[in-house]
Amino acid sequence: MKASYAKPDGPIFDANEIHEDSPRKEGPWYCSTTGCTVQYKYHRIATYAVDEPGRVLRSGTFAHGEDRHHLPDCYMNEHALRQRIINDHAAVLVKDGDKLLLKWGRAPVKDAPSATPTVRRPRTTTTREAYAGILRAAADIARVVDDSDNDESVLARYWIIHHGIRYTWREFCYGPDGDDLHRIIDSIEGTYNPIAAPWPRLVRAIVSDPATSTDARVLLNLRAPTKRRNGDYVRLSLFAKPHTPVARQLLTFRSLEQVFVLADDWRAGSGRYGPSVWLNTPEQISAQ
Ligand SMILES: [Zn+2]
């Protein structure tokens, strides 16, 4: 999240650049959108997390003041943004108070009451049309979250309900930043179980090499556009059965092209492959 220091057209700072002992901390701070004069109360550090190199700042924000009337086209105008997203993606969104839920997949079917009730793994019945609508909405929301610099109040507004299970935006969306994409590895390894409920994950990455093809499969390798703090790239692999529409789609992507990939059956990495998934339909991947 960014804001102008001292006056509406003052120098713009990212909230993550302002440290606890900065003389600028108390502000005044203004919305950084040109022409928008909303004033924030002060700068506050929102979230720290413990990561490999130690304690790191996850996100910084500016505290809201009384005036929240951002310009209609300001990226911090939550009401206007929310309304546009609802209008553009009404078929796949459900309102829940001030939250928007991206919803697909039927809830699991419970067996008739018995001494040992079981929950069946829901069949993956996501249709091509559903994937297309969900992926368009998810890509749009990802851009809204980007524009807010991962502002926590924006992140808290978007949720996923998949087969009746609720996920936060961060449990659903990974990348493109290397460290952010790396979270998917822990997420999959922590939960992978062939009979567990499918977990929907949206990956944002770039194509590392053009797809290759054998009699058994078409393979497209992806990676994060940026290295992690430790110098590594996070890599992922997409597979498709040969001569299918999605295989032909994978063969069209060029190196460094940015993509969104949506699937609910990502598998943990093994051998020389990172986390991977077999795609069923071209609607599961789109260029950003
Ligand atoms: Zn504004």
User: Which tens digits make up the pLDDT trace of 18-69?
Assistant: 888 888 988 899 999 999 989 998 887 756 666 555 666 666 788 877 777 8
Would you say residue 171 lies in a domain? yes
Q: What's the 100 CA to ligand 1 centre distance in angstroms? A: 21
Q: Are residue 138 and residue 21 in the same domain, yes or no?
A: no
Write down which residue in 20, 42, 64 finishes a domain: 64
Q: Are residue 279 and residue 142 in the same domain, yes or no?
A: yes
Q: What's the 39 CA to ligand 1 centre distance in angstroms? A: 9
pLDDT at 170: 93
Q: What is the dihedral of CA 250, 254, 256, 258, to 10 degrees?
A: -50
Write down which residue in 44, 64, 84 finishes a domain: 64
Q: What's the 89 CA to ligand 1 centre distance in angstroms? A: 24
CATH code of the domain in which 195 resides = 2.40.50.140
Would you say residue 104 lies in a domain? no
Q: What's the 74 CA to ligand 1 centre distance in angstroms? A: 5
Distances (CA, A) of 85 to 58, 92, 109, 122, 228: 26, 10, 31, 28, 32
Give the strand pairing for 93-96 and 54-64.
unpaired
Q: Are residue 56 and residue 140 in the same domain, yes or no?
A: no
Q: Report how far residue 273's alpha carbon sits from residue 222's, in angstroms, rounded to the nearest whole number.
A: 10
Nearest CA to 203 out of 288, 124, 103 is that of 288
pLDDT tens readout for residues 109-122: 665 555 554 555 55
More confident residue, 280 or 21: 280
Would you say residue 121 lies in a domain? no
Give the strand pairing for 235-240 and 258-263.
unpaired
Q: What's the 75 CA to ligand 1 centre distance in angstroms? A: 7
Q: Are residue 142 and residue 24 in the same domain, yes or no?
A: no
Contact 102, 136 (CB under 8 A): no
Would you say residue 165 lies in a domain? yes
pLDDT at 1: 79
Q: What's the 5 CA to ligand 1 centre distance in angstroms? A: 14
Q: Are residue 54 and residue 134 in the same domain, yes or no?
A: no
Q: Report how far residue 181's alpha carbon sits from residue 19's, in angstroms, rounded to the nearest whole number.
A: 25
Q: What's the 68 CA to ligand 1 centre distance in angstroms? A: 8
Would you say residue 37 lies in a domain? yes
Distances (CA, A) of 130 to 72, 134, 143, 157, 282: 30, 6, 20, 22, 12
Q: What's the 80 CA to ligand 1 centre distance in angstroms? A: 11
DSSP summary character for residue 72: T
Write down which residue in 64, 88, 117 finishes a domain: 64
- Please state the rounded mean pLDDT for residues 154-161: 92
- The number of distinct structural domains making up the chain is 2
More confident residue, 160 or 150: 160
Would you say residue 235 lies in a domain? yes
Q: Are residue 133 and residue 275 in the same domain, yes or no?
A: yes
Query: What's the domain range around 54?
Result: 2-64
Q: What's the 8 CA to ligand 1 centre distance in angstroms? A: 10
Q: What's the 87 CA to ligand 1 centre distance in angstroms? A: 21
Q: Are residue 135 and residue 232 in the same domain, yes or no?
A: yes
Would you say residue 108 lies in a domain? no
Q: What's the 19 CA to ligand 1 centre distance in angstroms? A: 23
**Region of poorest pLDDT, from 93-102, 184-193, 202-211:** 184-193
Q: What's the 152 CA to ligand 1 centre distance in angstroms? A: 16
Q: What's the 46 CA to ligand 1 centre distance in angstroms? A: 19
Question: Confidence band (pLDDT; 50, 70, 90) for 124?
Answer: low
Would you say residue 43 lies in a domain? yes
Q: Are residue 207 and residue 280 in the same domain, yes or no?
A: yes
Q: What's the 195 CA to ligand 1 centre distance in angstroms? A: 46
What percent of the chain has a predicted confidence (pLDDT) above 90? Answer: 53
Q: What's the 30 CA to ligand 1 centre distance in angstroms? A: 8
| 149 pLDDT more than 60 | yes
Q: What's the 10 CA to ligand 1 centre distance in angstroms? A: 14
